[in-house]
Homo-oligomer: A and B are copies of this chain.
Amino acid sequence: MKYGTVNSLQSPRFAGVKTFMRMHNIRTFKDVDFAVVGIPFDTCATYRAGARFGPSAIREMSALAAKPYHPELEVDIFEECSGVDFGDLGSVPGYVEESFEVITKEMQEIFANGIIPIAMGGDHSVTLPELRACSAVYGPVALVHFDAHYDTIPEYFGKPYSHGTPFYHAAKEGLVDPSCSIQLGIREGLYGPEDAQNSANLGYESLKASAMHHMTSEQIIEKVYERTKGKKVFLTFDIDFLDPAYAPGTGTPVPGGFSTWEALELIRGLKELDIVGYDIVEVAPAFDGTGITSIAAAGIIQEFMSLIAWRKKNGKL
Contacts of A9 in B (CB 8 A): 156-157, 191
Tell yes or no: A50 within 8 A of B by CB.
yes
Partner of A244, one of B11, B191, B193, B296: B296
A288 within 8 A of B: yes
Of A137-145, A222-230, A248-256, A307-315, the one touching chain B: A248-256
Q: How distant is the Cα of A196 from the Cα of B243 in the complex, in angstroms?
A: 31
Contact with B along A115-140 (1 / 0, CB 8 A): 00000000000000000000000000
Interfacial chain B residues near A52, Cβ < 8 Å: 14, 49
Taking CB as reference atom, which chain B residue is nearest A60? B56
Determine if A174 is an interface residue (Cβ-Cβ < 8 Å): no
Contacts of A286 in B (CB 8 A): 48, 50, 286-287
Q: Is A40 an interface residue (CB 8 A)?
A: yes
Q: Choose among B14, B48, B260 the residue that contacts A243 (Cβ–Cβ < 8 A).
A: B260
Is B13 a contact partner of A253 (Cβ separation < 8 A)? no
Q: Which residues of B contact A157 (CB under 8 A)?
A: 9-10, 12, 92-93, 95
Interface string of A194-220 (1 = CB under 8 A from B): 011000000000001110010000000
> A64 contacts B47, CB within 8 Å?
yes
Number of interface residues of A (CB under 8 A): 99
For residue A181, give the distance in angstroms from its CB to the closest CB of chain B.
19
Closest chain-B Cβ to A200's Cβ sits at a distance in Å of 12
Contacts of A67 on B, CB cut-off 8 Å?
188-191
- Min CB gap A293→B, angstroms: 9
Given the known interface contacts A19-B17, A38-B15, the answer about A260 and B246 at a Cβ–Cβ threshold of 8 Å is: no
Give CA–CA (A210, B193) in the complex, Å. Answer: 38
**Residue in A45, A52, A63, A261 whose Cβ sees the most chain B Cβ within 10 Å:** A261
Q: Could you tell me which A residues sit within 8 Å of B by CB distance?
A: 8-19, 25, 38, 40, 42-50, 52-53, 56, 59-60, 63-65, 67-72, 74, 76, 85, 87-96, 98, 156-159, 161-162, 188-193, 195-196, 208-210, 213, 243-246, 248-249, 252-257, 259-261, 264-265, 286-292, 295-296, 299-300, 302
Known interface pairs A12-B157, A71-B190; 6 further A-B residue pairs with C-beta atoms within 8 A, sorted by A's residue number: A13-B47, A45-B93, A67-B189, A94-B162, A244-B290, A255-B299
